[in-house]
């Protein structure tokens, strides 16, 4: 079972309250890579039931024009998550986000419920992907186990609010309180070959701070960022768009490696820099990002 | 399905609608309040009747206050109100009566 969407581009994941028709009817106009339809924290306790009906019909009837539809279900220690999964799978969502993931077993519980729902509702086996949100110190320490728990799992995400509470600190805006978790999660995700996403930046009045935050996580190796407002999308996409210089260099690397490999040469130089096969995937990723950003004019 | 308890779903926010169901008197008694009743009144009534029929509800007093809801929202709010009235929150018939 290998779902081709596991590796799709996910620079931005925009949170939307699944209970709010005004929010979920047309978010594709802002062109995020993914939307995160939320059944969890954004939905009041007495509206959990109503939110599912709203979610189900949105999934079935609204054309999101290629934007990935991820649903954040309620946590596994609530009475809601199993029916959330039935609703999501019946509606045909692309992926389910597990909140407060602390172990591989959490992922397996959700995986089993999804597989059961896919059979119940006649959905293709393996069509519903999983991502896991890490929101505690224990979750960070178990990150690699979580990343390797399911073939359906495409990535993990840091949830900074709950994580910093668990760490007995708070969000400062500097990122210092998130350093350890961010580094651990990226390393675990890369070791397991899955994607990694950063937490939201909640101060919408500080767009300079947001830009600095995104620049930091981009350099750390994150695949993208959770966002809470359409105004944040263009900043993330801008930072994740390769420069002209990067694209030209990546093209040279890909072409030279293809050519030199055929000649049996393993190590060589491009623009004075030593290059070998280890650079190939990174260069290919730069080209793919350039294509997704609409700035690639080459023919690779 | 028999509606015995009053129940409500939805809000009065833009793009939403608020649906109230109460015990009926052997028929569907629909009251509709919408700013776009002249343009979409017939469509709202048609979707309401189809949704109630699918749910097997043929006796209900239903009141809809529409704030520009899409069809998918209207269906969701009617189903939400009906299943709240029945106090059923699990094992729902997604893709069956709910579709």
CATH of the domain at A36: 3.20.20.60
Answer yes or no: is A298 within a domain. Answer: no
Instruction: For chain A, give percent helix, strand, coil, nearest 5.
Output: 50, 15, 35
Query: Please, are residues A190 and A159 in contact by the beta-carbon 8 Å criterion?
Result: no
Note whether B69 contacts A: Cβ–Cβ < 8 A. Answer: yes
Residue A220: C-alpha distances to residues A143, A185, A199 (Å): 17, 10, 13
Answer yes or no: is B42 within a domain. Answer: yes
For the beta sheet containing B60-66, the strands, ordered from the edge strand earlier in sequence to the opposite edge, are: B7-10, B17-23, B60-66, B28-34
Identify from B7, B55, B72 which residue to disrupt to test chain A contact, counting A C-beta atoms within 10 A and taking the largest count: B72
Q: Are residues A214 and A196 in the same domain?
A: yes
Q: Are residues A63 and A145 in the same domain?
A: yes
- Spatial separation of the C-alpha atoms in residues A200 and A14, rounded to whole Å: 9
pLDDT band at A1 (very low <50, low <70, confident <90, very high): low
Answer yes or no: is B92 within a domain. Answer: no
Check A121 against B83: CB less than 8 A apart: no
Query: Please, are residues A118 and A89 in contact by the beta-carbon 8 Å criterion?
Result: yes
Phi/psi for B51 (5° steps) reads -65, -45
Tell which residue, A88, A145, A138, A148, has the closest CA to residue A118: A88
**pLDDT surpassing 80 at residue A77:** yes
Weakest-pLDDT range from A25-29, A147-151, A163-167, A294-298: A294-298
Q: Are residues A96 and A140 in the same domain?
A: yes
pLDDT band at A292 (very low <50, low <70, confident <90, very high): confident
Answer yes or no: is B99 within a domain. Answer: no
Give the H or E element holding residue A262. helix A244-263
The token pair that represents A62 in the structure block: 């609204």
Given the structure tokens 């749910």, which residue do they identify? B55
Answer yes or no: is B96 within a domain. Answer: no
Answer yes or no: is A218 within a domain. Answer: yes
What does the pLDDT look like over A93-116, one tens digit per residue? 999 999 999 999 999 999 999 999
Q: What is the largest CA-CA distance in chain B?
A: 38
Phi/psi for A90 (5° steps) reads -60, -35
DSSP alpha helix (H) spans, B1-99: 37-55, 71-86
Greater confidence, B68 or A264?
A: B68
CATH of residue B28: 3.30.230.10
The token pair that represents A294 in the structure block: 């609409």
* Residues of chain A with C-beta less than 8 angstroms from the C-beta of B95: 90, 121-122
Domain of residue B34: give its range. Answer: 7-86
Q: Are residues A81 and A135 in the same domain?
A: yes
Q: For position A2, what pLDDT does the model report?
A: 76
**pLDDT surpassing 60 at residue B5:** yes
- Spatial separation of the C-alpha atoms in residues A134 and A25, rounded to whole Å: 29
Structural domain count, chain A = 2
- Mean pLDDT confidence for A251-268: 90
Greater confidence, B81 or A3?
A: B81
The beta-carbon neighbor of B13 closest among A22, A50, A58 is: A22
Identify from A20, A47, A57, A116 which residue to disrupt to test chain B contact, counting B C-beta atoms within 10 A and taking the largest count: A57
Q: Are residues A121 and A20 in the same domain?
A: yes
Q: Are residues A28 and A173 in the same domain?
A: yes
Query: Residue A216 CA to chain centroid, in angstroms?
Result: 17
Q: What is the DSSP letter of A59?
A: H
Query: Please, are residues A37 and A72 in contact by the beta-carbon 8 Å criterion?
Result: yes
Query: Please, are residues A96 and A85 in contact by the beta-carbon 8 Å criterion?
Result: yes
DSSP alpha helix (H) spans, B19-70: 37-55
Tell which residue, A155, A84, A89, has the closest CA to residue A125: A89
Q: Are residues A125 and A257 in the same domain?
A: no
Note whether B44 contacts A: Cβ–Cβ < 8 A. Answer: no
Residues in chain B: 99
ipTM above 0.95, yes or no: yes
pLDDT band at A170 (very low <50, low <70, confident <90, very high): very high
Answer yes or no: is A300 within a domain. Answer: no
Tell which residue, A93, A119, A112, has the closest CA to residue A34: A93
Answer yes or no: is B31 within a domain. Answer: yes
Tell which residue, A120, A158, A10, has the closest CA to residue A70: A10
Structural domain count, chain B = 1
Query: Please, are residues A153 and A194 in contact by the beta-carbon 8 Å criterion?
Result: yes
Domain of residue A34: give its range. Answer: 4-240
Look at the pTM and tell me if it is higher than 0.90.
yes
Q: For position A297, what pLDDT does the model report?
A: 87
Q: Are residues A216 and A254 in the same domain?
A: no
Answer yes or no: is A297 within a domain. Answer: no
* Percent of chain B surpassing pLDDT 70: 100
Q: Are residues A25 and A139 in the same domain?
A: yes
Answer yes or no: is B24 within a domain. Answer: yes
- Spatial separation of the C-alpha atoms in residues A13 and A225, rounded to whole Å: 6
Residue A152: C-alpha distances to residues A100, A108, A125, A192 (Å): 18, 10, 10, 13
Residue A221: C-alpha distances to residues A187, A230, A240 (Å): 9, 23, 11
Q: For position A107, what pLDDT does the model report?
A: 98
Check B10 against A50: CB less than 8 A apart: yes
Answer yes or no: is B94 within a domain. Answer: no
Note whether B67 contacts A: Cβ–Cβ < 8 A. Answer: no
Q: Are residues A221 and A256 in the same domain?
A: no
Q: Are residues A184 and A71 in the same domain?
A: yes
Q: Are residues A45 and A160 in the same domain?
A: yes
Answer yes or no: is B91 within a domain. Answer: no
Residues in chain A: 300
């Amino acid at each position: 079972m290998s779902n081709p969407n596991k590796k799709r581009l996910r620079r931005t994941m925009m949170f939307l309250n699944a209970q709010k028709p005004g929010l979920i009817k047309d978010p594709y106009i802002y062109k995020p890579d993914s939307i995160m339809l939320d059944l969890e924290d954004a939905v009041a306790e007495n509206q959990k039931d109503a939110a599912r009906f709203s979610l189900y019909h949105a999934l079935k009837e609204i054309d999101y024009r290629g934007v990935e539809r991820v649903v954040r279900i309620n946590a596994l220690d609530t009475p809601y998550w199993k029916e959330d999964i039935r609703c999501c799978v019946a509606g045909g969502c692309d992926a389910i986000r597990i909140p407060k993931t602390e172990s591989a077993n959490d992922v397996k519980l959700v995986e089993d419920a999804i597989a059961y729902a896919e059979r119940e509702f006649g959905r293709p086996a393996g069509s519903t992907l999983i991502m896991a949100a890490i929101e505690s110190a224990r979750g960070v320490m178990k990150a690699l186990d979580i990343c390797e728990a399911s073939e359906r799992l495409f990535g993990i995400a840091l949830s900074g609010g709950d994580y910093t509470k668990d760490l007995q600190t708070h969000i400062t805006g500097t990122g210092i309180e998130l350093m350890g978790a961010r580094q651990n999660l990226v390393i675990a995700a890369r070791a397991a070959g899955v994607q990694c996403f950063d937490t939201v930046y909640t101060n919408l009045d500080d767009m300079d701070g947001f830009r600095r935050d995104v620049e930091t996580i981009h350099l750390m190796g994150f695949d993208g960022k959770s966002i809470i407002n359409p105004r944040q999308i263009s900043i993330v996409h801008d930072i994740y768009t390769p420069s002209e210089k990067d694209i030209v260099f990546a093209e040279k690397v890909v072409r030279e490696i293809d050519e030199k490999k055929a000649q049996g040469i393993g190590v060589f130089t491009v623009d004075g820099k030593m290059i070998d096969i280890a650079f190939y995937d990174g260069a290919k990723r730069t080209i793919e990002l350039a294509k997704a950003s609409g700035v690639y004019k080459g023919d690779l | 399905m028999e509606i015995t308890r009053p129940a409500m779903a939805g809000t009065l926010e833009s793009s939403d609608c608020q649906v109230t169901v109460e015990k009926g008197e052997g028929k569907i008694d629909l009251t509709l309040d919408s700013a776009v009743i002249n343009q979409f009144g017939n469509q709202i009534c048609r979707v309401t009747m189809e949704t109630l029929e699918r749910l097997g509800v043929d006796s209900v007093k239903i009141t809809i206050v529409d704030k520009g809801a899409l069809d998918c929202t209207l269906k969701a709010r009617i189903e939400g109100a009906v299943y709240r009235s029945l106090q059923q929150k699990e094992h729902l018939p997604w893709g069956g009566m709910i579709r």
